[in-house]
Amino acid sequence: MSSIPEFGELLAAAEKSAVHLEMRDTYYSNARFEAWQRGQRVDWNDRDSWWRPFHQDIADAVARGVQVRRARVVSEPVTDYIRWEHYQTRANTEAGEQVRWLPRRRAWDLLLPGSDLWVFDGKLMRIHHFSGDGLWVDKELCDEPTTVEAHAAAFEKVWERAVPHDAYEIM
């Protein structure tokens, strides 16, 4: 894994686009999710409390003209983790990322990847592997043109059907 560039490096090298497809309903637990479960909420007026290096990477890419889009395929009713992701997506959108949601029941006829992934400029794909309980397992890169093109096309099919973040209501 150490030979694979970090996300920030890959995004910094992107010239036109970076798209992220998320397929899971649950990911590993983290302190921010656990705080949200206990009822703590983000003070959106205190940017320093929620702005992270990831958000700055997104903002920097968008400022360079890179279109950054994320599509999440989710089961409904959603899990608590997805409910939290929906809540905290405001940080992503304030960084300049476009986010859409596709209920899994509306994706049944699409041929979708088995793993989460990022595609940079339609040429390079970073695949994320998780365990069944949502723990990060591994990541890999793929630059084989036919494979990357197929995954980029799958993302576009999801994007076309998905609901923009501001219009998606959590069930």
Domain membership flag for residue 61:
yes
Domain membership flag for residue 2:
no
Domain membership flag for residue 1:
no
Summarised one tens digit per residue, pLDDT across range 18-76 is 999 999 999 988 999 999 999 999 999 999 999 999 999 999 999 999 999 999 999 99
pLDDT confidence bin for 2, thresholds 50/70/90: low
> Model pTM?
0.95
Containing domain of residue 145, as a range? 7-167
pLDDT confidence bin for 1, thresholds 50/70/90: very low
Q: What is the number of domains present in the chain?
A: 1
Instruction: Using a pLDDT cut of 70, give the percent of the chain over it.
Output: 99
What is the CATH number for 141?
3.30.870.10
Does residue 112 register a pLDDT over 80?
yes
- Residue 119 CA to residue 127 CA, distance in Å, equals 9
pLDDT at 80 (0 to 100): 96
Cα torsion through 104, 106, 108, 110, rounded to 10:
-110
What mean pLDDT is predicted for residues 135-149? 96
Residue in 98, 97, 88, 100 with CA at minimum distance from that of residue 44: 88
Domain membership flag for residue 88:
yes
Pair 75, 47: CB distance under 8 Å: no
Domain membership flag for residue 35:
yes
